[in-house]
Amino acid sequence: MRKILLIGMGPGGPDFLTVQAIDALNRATVFFLPDKGAEKAELREVREQICRRFITRPEIRFVTIDIPQRDAPAGDYRATVDDWHAQIAARYRQVLIDELPDDGCGAFLVWGDPTLYDSSLRILDRLRADGLPIEYEIIPGISAVQVLTARHRIPLNRIGESVTITTGRKLGAAHHAAEDTVVMLDGDETFAKIDAGDTYIYWGAYLGMADEILIAGKLADVASDIQRVRREAREAKGWIMDAYLLRRSDGGA
Ligand SMILES: C[S@@+](CC[C@H](N)C(=O)[O-])C[C@H]1O[C@@H](n2cnc3c(N)ncnc32)[C@H](O)[C@@H]1O
């Protein structure tokens, strides 16, 4: 049976790979590279660096999978994403059948951790449910959340408290943050639109990369700085990846 490894590669560069991930890189013979058409050269370079640095077996191949563009959500967000996943699954199915021998081992290098805001796992599940005989393994990776808290030298949770992980879209719809909230996938600077109250923000962009930027402080004081720095950085590099933790300041640790 075909085997697929979803290898968590961490959120920024080769230094984040675990020993398990390096071993997995050397078990696969075919590397699938999903291409959304918009991936920046710098991000592709990170994947290439990882492969160059850690793969020691000579007989490997790279296969690009063209990913269709997602339609703009018209009303039902979930239905739009579901349709898009069905189209991606169809592409994956064809490429896996064409490019991976029946008993072959292929791999996807997944940004951060494969179980956090990433669809690769759902798409493989869908293929299996549709009858494609594949098995898969997930190699956990360090997520952007872990690098964010490590760089700011803060615990992710306060003693005995819970943490919400959400998206800019969800935070925007809620108009306020739960007690401790990590926000990812926020292209709309939602932190600047919610009720700041006595909330602190710990913000990071390009975490783990050479251009990493960190800003922390009372949201009301630093929101406009973050917006300015964020826009300048995105303008200069042509892309940005950022995440932040919102924490109500009640004196808890
Ligand atoms: C599609 S999600 C993938 C998350 C990934 N699976 C993980 O475990 O970190 C992409 C979002 O993760 C966050 N992210 C990923 N890498 C990042 C980085 N190096 N610096 C800042 N944020 C990052 C951003 O919020 C970005 O919009």
Residue range 233-245: mean pLDDT, rounded: 95
User: Which CATH code, of 3.40.50.2000, 3.40.30.10, 3.30.470.10, 3.40.1010.10, is assigned to 2-139?
Assistant: 3.40.1010.10
Q: pLDDT digit string (tens) for 60-104?
A: 899 988 888 777 766 778 888 888 888 889 999 999 999 999 999
Q: pLDDT digit string (tens) for 108-145?
A: 999 999 999 999 999 999 999 999 999 999 999 999 99
For residue 227, the model assigns a pLDDT of 98
As a whole number of angstroms, the distance between CA 51 and CA 30 comes to: 12
Nearest ligand 1 atom, CA 183: 25
Nearest ligand 1 atom, CA 115: 6
Name the band, by pLDDT with cuts 50, 70 and 90, for residue 38. Answer: low
Ligand 1, atom 25, lies closest to the CA of 184
CA of 46 to the centre of ligand 1 (A): 14
Structure tokens at 90: 């169809």
- DSSP one-letter string for 52-120: HHH---S--EEEEEEPPPPPPP-S-HHHHHHHHHHHHHHHHHHHHHHHS-TT-EEEEEESB-TTSS--H
Domain chopping of the chain, boundaries: 2-139, 144-248
CATH topology of domain 144-248: 3.30.950
Percent above pLDDT 70 for the chain: 96
Helix axes 77-99, 120-129, angle to 10 degrees: 70
Name the band, by pLDDT with cuts 50, 70 and 90, for residue 45. Answer: confident
Q: Which residues line ligand 1 (CB under 6 A)?
A: 11-12, 111-113, 116-118, 143-144, 184-185, 204-209, 241-243
For residue 249, the model assigns a pLDDT of 76
For residue 56, the model assigns a pLDDT of 93
Looking at per-residue pLDDT, the higher value among 6 and 249 belongs to: 6
For residue 70, the model assigns a pLDDT of 77
For residue 103, the model assigns a pLDDT of 93
For residue 160, the model assigns a pLDDT of 93
Asked if 12 and 147 touch (Cβ cutoff 8 Å), the reply is yes
As a whole number of angstroms, the distance between CA 253 and CA 83 comes to: 43
For residue 162, the model assigns a pLDDT of 93
For residue 251, the model assigns a pLDDT of 47
Sheet holding 2-8, edge to edge: 61-66, 30-35, 105-110, 2-8, 134-139
Asked if the domains at 2-139 and 144-248 fall in one CATH topology, the answer is no
List Cβ<8 Å contacts ≥24 apart for 68-76. Answer: 69/36, 69/37
CA of 242 to the centre of ligand 1 (A): 7
- DSSP one-letter string for 32-63: EEEE-S---HHHHHHHHHHHHHH---S--EEE
Q: pLDDT digit string (tens) for 191-206?
A: 999 988 899 999 999 9
Structure tokens at 135: 């098995």
Q: pLDDT digit string (tens) for 178-192?
A: 889 999 999 999 999
For residue 226, the model assigns a pLDDT of 98
Name the band, by pLDDT with cuts 50, 70 and 90, for residue 156. Answer: very high
Q: With a cut of 60, say whether residue 253 has pLDDT above it.
A: no
As a whole number of angstroms, the distance between CA 159 and CA 138 comes to: 30
